[in-house]
Amino acid sequence: MAHKPSNKKLYSQIVDLLQSARNKVVQTVNQTMVLTYCEIGKMLVEEEQGGKDRAEYGKELLKGLSEVLTREFGKGFSVKNLERMRSFYQIYGKSSTPLSKSENQKSQTPSAELKQHEFVLSWSHYLKLMRIDNENERKFYEIESLKNNWSVRELERQYDSALYTRLVLSRNKEKVKELSEKGLILEKPKDAIKDPYILEFLGLPERSEYSESHLEEKIIDKLEHFLLELGNGFMFVARQKRISLDDTHFRIDLVFYNRILKCFVMIDLKIGELKHQDLGQMQMYVNYYDREIRLEDENNTIGIVLCQNKRESVVEYTLPENNEQIFASKYQTVLPSKEELKLIIAEQNS
C-alpha cells in the first residue's frame, strides 16, 4: 500500500496565510478608525472656532453630537470621547493644511490632507500618548511602540518606569534629539545600558531579604518582562552558564545575545553593595567569552553587574579608562517617581 503524503506543510501554510490576512484586516480597521476620529476632531475644532462664544458653543455642540451619534451608533461617542478626538486632531493632525468649508462639506471620508498621516498604532495607544505633554517624549514612545510592537499595557509600563527620562539623563543634547526622531538606536555597547534598571514586575518589595538565587528565579519566571526592560534585540541564551578554568568551575548568572550589536551580554546579580571583586569577576567572564566562545564576525562581549547599591568611585578605579565592555547598574524593584529617578541618577553622577 502506497504511503499517503503528509499535508501538514500545506495546512500550516494556509493557516499562516489566513492569520496574516486577519492581522492586516485588524490593522486596516484600526488605521481607518483612528483616521476617522482625527477627521471628526478636525471638524469639531473648525466648527467651534466659528462659534461666537467658543466655550459655551463647544459644550453644547459636543453634547448634542454625542446624543445623535449614540442613538445612531451606540456606545463610544460620549462627550468625553468626543473631547479626546478633538484633542487628538490638535496634537496629531494640525500640521495638515486645513480644508476649505466647501471642500469639507463635499467630503464624507477622511480628508486627503489627513490621509497623509501614518496612524500606525491603535486608538488606545494614542489615548495614552496624548497624555504625555512633552512633545519629544511623546514622539519617542510612539516610535518605540511601533518598533517593538508594544501593547498598550507595555507602553504604560515603559512610561511609568520613566524609560525616556532614564535615557535622556545619560545622553548629550545630540543623542537626546535623536531619541525623539529615531527612538533608541543601538550603535555601541553603552547605548544598550540603562542605569537604573526598573524591575517592579518581579513583585519584590524595595527592602526585602532575598537571595541572589531568589532574584534570579524571579527574573526567569518573568523572562519576557525582563527582556522588554533590557531593550531592543536581546535574546535569552543561558542561566547559570558554567565555565571551567583548570579545575575551578564558575557560573554566570544570565547570558543573553543582542542581535543588533551582534554580541553576547552577560549579567551577574548582586545583592547589596557593589564590590571591586564583582567587577573583576565579570571581567574574567568577558575575557573568557571573547577568547573561547565569540566568533570572528561577532563583536566584543558585554558584561553587566546588576546591584542594589554602588559607589561610582569603585567602578571608576576598578575598570580601565577606555572601558566599553564592563558596566555596573543599579536595579529598582519598585517604580520610582520621575523626581526620585532624577535624584538617583544625580547621586550616581555626583
Question: What is the spatial distance between Cα 314 and Cα 117, in angstroms, rounded to a whole number?
Answer: 50
Look at residue 309 and tell me if it is in a domain.
yes
Give me the CATH number covering residue 235: 3.40.1350.10
Q: How many domains does the chain have?
A: 3
pLDDT by position in tens, the chain (length 350): 555 556 778 778 878 888 888 877 777 888 888 999 999 999 888 887 765 556 677 788 889 999 999 999 888 899 999 999 999 999 987 654 332 334 444 444 455 455 445 688 999 999 999 999 999 999 999 999 988 889 999 999 999 988 998 888 777 777 888 898 888 888 899 999 998 899 999 988 766 678 899 999 999 999 999 999 999 899 999 999 999 988 899 999 999 999 999 999 999 999 888 999 999 999 999 999 999 999 999 999 999 999 988 888 888 888 888 899 999 999 988 887 777 777 766 666 65
Report residue 217: phi and psi, to 5°.
Answer: -60, -40
> Is the Cβ–Cβ distance between 61 and 83 less than 8 Å?
no
| 212 and 339 belong to one structural domain | yes
| 211 and 73 belong to one structural domain | no
Show the CA angle centred on residue 169, arms to residues 167 and 173, nearest 5°. Answer: 90
**If we measure between CA atoms, which residue out of 25, 6, 329 comes closest to residue 194?**
329
Write down which residue in 185, 203, 231 finishes a domain. 185
Task: Indicate the helix (H) or strand (E) that contains 237.
Answer: strand 234-245
| 100 and 156 belong to one structural domain | no
| 99 and 152 belong to one structural domain | no
> Is the Cβ–Cβ distance between 147 and 121 less than 8 Å?
no
Question: What is the spatial distance between Cα 316 and Cα 171, in angstroms, rounded to a whole number?
Answer: 18
Look at residue 336 and tell me if it is in a domain.
yes
Look at residue 5 and tell me if it is in a domain.
no
Write down which residue in 137, 165, 185 finishes a domain. 185
Question: What is the spatial distance between Cα 203 and Cα 226, in angstroms, rounded to a whole number?
Answer: 13
Look at residue 329 and tell me if it is in a domain.
yes
**If we measure between CA atoms, which residue out of 224, 37, 44, 228 comes closest to residue 121?**
37
Question: What is the spatial distance between Cα 322 and Cα 92, in angstroms, rounded to a whole number?
Answer: 44
| 126 and 115 belong to one structural domain | no
At 308, list the grid cell. 542594589
Question: What is the spatial distance between Cα 278 and Cα 268, in angstroms, rounded to a whole number?
Answer: 8
Look at residue 4 and tell me if it is in a domain.
no
> What domain range is 160 assigned to?
122-185
